[in-house]
Amino acid sequence: MRRKPLTALLASLMLVAAASAQAQEASQAPAPGTATEGLQIMDAASVDIGEFLWLKRVLAVFADTPADPRYIQQMQLLAERPRDLVERDVIVITDTDPTARTEARRDLRPRGFALVLVDKDGVVKLRKPSPWSTREISRSIDKTPLRRDEIREGRGSTLTQ
């Protein structure tokens, strides 16, 4: 019987530990269909983005699988400070199944992981290939003309400086 070298055994153990940690992180990320302190998180398969025109900003989070570390990290970042997004009339839609060919995936055409912000007027305002904090997302929203109008008219929270 041949023995595995110590380095191969250690590499195997590291892979098992990484998979276990990833599974644990995935279980801690908010699931679609949940609300985190008022932030709606919905599955893209059950949503028509057009329903939210002039009502809500849509933050779409795409990945090729729910196990994508960037997707897991993004969902955790959103759960940390959901109030920032709620104050800016944001809903989150998630799509982790490229084979489902949802309307959001057809319209926004992500490749792998993507974070896409669609403003209330239906215009894409932000596309990112990596996770962003709610603070960064909020600042991007606050720079848009629609958000500035909302603040000026007293329909939203004040700008974060």
Could you read off the pLDDT of 58-93 as tens digits, one per residue? 999 999 999 999 999 999 999 999 999 999 999 999
Strand ranges (DSSP E) for 5-123?
35-36, 39-43, 57-62, 90-95, 114-118
Answer for the pair 121, 55: CB distance below 8 angstroms, yes or no.
Answer: no
Could you tell me the CA-to-CA distances from 61 to 58, 65, 73, 114, 156 in Å, in that order?
Answer: 10, 11, 11, 6, 24
pLDDT at 154: 87
39-43/90-95 β-pairing: parallel
- Where exactly are the structural domains of the chain? 6-152
Q: What percent of the chain has pLDDT over 90?
A: 72
pLDDT confidence band for 37 (50 / 70 / 90): confident
Span 44-57, average pLDDT: 96
Answer for the pair 118, 51: CB distance below 8 angstroms, yes or no.
Answer: no
Report whether pLDDT(161) > 50: no
Could you read off the pLDDT of 105-131 as tens digits, one per residue? 999 999 999 999 999 999 999 999 999
Span 23-29, average pLDDT: 51
pLDDT at 134: 97
Q: Does domain 6-152 have CATH number 3.40.30.10?
A: yes
DSSP state of 89: T
